[in-house]
Homo-oligomer: A and B are copies of this chain.
C-alpha cells in the first residue's frame, strides 16, 4: 500500500504538520467527527478510531492518537489525556504530581486500516512532568513534558528538534519503513 492511497483522518492540523515535516511529503487529510472509545490504552483507541473512520469514509484510512501515562498512576490517564488536559489544565497537572514520581511516558499509535487487518505503529518517549509550563511551541502537553536527556520541554523545541525524539515522530518513522511514500 502507498501512503498516497490513504486518508489521514484528524481534526488536529498540528498533527498533520508534524507528520508532513517528518515524512517530507504532503498528506491527504480530512476531519470527521469520530466517537472515541473510553480507554486508557492508546492502541485500543486507535484501532477503534480507524474502524469508525473507515466505516464513514469507505476508503483506506490512517489515524493516530497520543497518550501520556504517569508512572505514579499506573499509566493513567493514557489516551484519556485529552480530557485530563481540557478539564484539569496543564498547570494543574504539574501541581497534582507534587509529592509523586513525575515520570511519564508519551506514546503515539498510528493505525492503517482498509477493512481487513489493523496495522499499528507505536512510538514512545520517556520523560518527566516538570513543575510549571515552559515554552510556547507545539501543542497539547508539550509545555509540561521534558524528554529524558533533554534540558527543554517539547514546547521549547523547534518542530525539527521535536521531530528527532518525539513519540509521534518515532511512530511515523515506523510507518515510513513499512509503506511506500
Give me the interface of A with B, judged by CB distance under 8 Å: 35-40, 72-77, 80, 83-84, 86-88, 92, 95-96, 98-100
Let me know if B72 and A92 touch, CB within 8 A.
yes
Contact for A36 among B38, B40, B80, B98, CB less than 8 A: B38
Let me know if B92 and A73 touch, CB within 8 A.
yes
Sample 8 A-B pairs with CB under 8 A, ordered by A number: A36-B38, A37-B38, A38-B80, A40-B83, A73-B92, A75-B87, A76-B88, A95-B99
Least CB separation from A97: chain B residue? B96
Task: Take A75-B87, A83-B77 as given contacts and tell me if A39 and B38 are in contact as well, using a CB distance cutoff of 8 Å.
Answer: yes
Please, how many angstroms separate the alpha-carbon atoms of A95 and B39 in the complex? 24
Let me know if B87 and A73 touch, CB within 8 A.
yes
Let me know if A84 and B76 touch, CB within 8 A.
yes
Set of chain B residues within 8 Å of A84, measured between Cβ atoms: 76
Leading 3 A-B pairs by shortest Cβ distance: A76-B87, A38-B38, A73-B88
Please, how many angstroms separate the alpha-carbon atoms of A157 and B71 in the complex? 34
Let me know if B76 and A83 touch, CB within 8 A.
yes
- Min Cβ gap A145→B in Å is 19
- Min Cβ gap A2→B in Å is 32
- Min Cβ gap A67→B in Å is 12
